[in-house]
Amino acid sequence: MIKVGVVYHSVCGSTRTLAEAIVDGINSIPGCEGEALAIKGEHIIQGRYHNPELMLRLDQCNGIVFGSPTFMGSVSAQFKAFMDAASERYSGRGWVDKLSAGFTIGSNFSGDQLNTISTLQIFAAQMGMLWVPLGILPNHDVKRRNRSGCQSGLVAVVEGEGTVHELDYHTALYMGERIGQLLGRLQLL
């Protein structure tokens, strides 16, 4: 079984909804199993993220999708604490060659969400992971997914507090399917 972890932080629930849609997309691919893993503030003690169980689950994954709300033009403080805690895997090269992708949501159409995606992308590169861009042509997709037009990852825009636009939801589903399909193809090599 191919395993993909979708690790995310969410306060009001919109990032969680996207994470769960990505998991549904992963699970729709035969032989793939997705799991949503929430980063919680209670695991940050004196500024340091500590959740060995979550880290071990990610170790067992073939791919990891990272998701954070955009807060002040970047990842949330809680997500950054998780990134810093992953430095143990950086030095041990524990996540090298796993597939990776990223998603974010903000309340504005151009609320600097790209900086969040770029932060996730650079984090994945630090870990030696292989980044999967979204791969949907904006304005040409018959289902009108990727309405924000970002290619590096999924950039969503809040509909109402804690909710997700239907097209962003379908883009998240697609992201999960794409990761699952790519991992399936890599396994066949």
Ligand X SMILES: Cc1cc2nc3c(=O)[nH]c(=O)nc-3n(C[C@H](O)[C@H](O)[C@H](O)COP(=O)(O)O)c2cc1C
Residues at the interface with ligand X (CB under 6 A) = 10-16, 69-73, 105-108, 111-113, 158, 162
Least spacing, CB of residue 43 vs ligand X, in Å: 17
> Which is closer to ligand X, CB of 65 or CB of 183?
65
- Using DSSP's 3-state secondary structure scheme, residue 42 falls into helix
Q: Which residues contact 188 (CB under 8 A, 6 or more apart)?
A: none
Helices (H) and strands (E) in the chain, counts: 6, 8
Distance CA 130, CA 109 (A): 28
Least spacing, CB of residue 120 vs ligand X, in Å: 14
> Which is closer to ligand X, CB of 127 or CB of 168?
168
Q: What count of other Cβ atoms lies within 10 Å of the Cβ of residue 75? A: 26
Q: What count of other Cβ atoms lies within 10 Å of the Cβ of residue 180? A: 26
Least spacing, CB of residue 138 vs ligand X, in Å: 18
> Which is closer to ligand X, CB of 20 or CB of 177?
20
Q: Which residues contact 84 (CB under 8 A, 6 or more apart)?
A: 48, 49
Least spacing, CB of residue 110 vs ligand X, in Å: 8
> Which is closer to ligand X, CB of 113 or CB of 146?
113
**Looking at beta carbons, which residue is closest to ligand X?**
111
- Which helix (H) or strand (E) segment holds residue 113: the answer is helix 113-126
> Which is closer to ligand X, CB of 162 or CB of 184?
162
Report the Cα 152 to chain-centroid distance in Å: 12
Least spacing, CB of residue 1 vs ligand X, in Å: 29
> Which is closer to ligand X, CB of 9 or CB of 98?
9
Least spacing, CB of residue 116 vs ligand X, in Å: 8
Length of the chain, in residues: 189
- Using DSSP's 3-state secondary structure scheme, residue 33 falls into strand
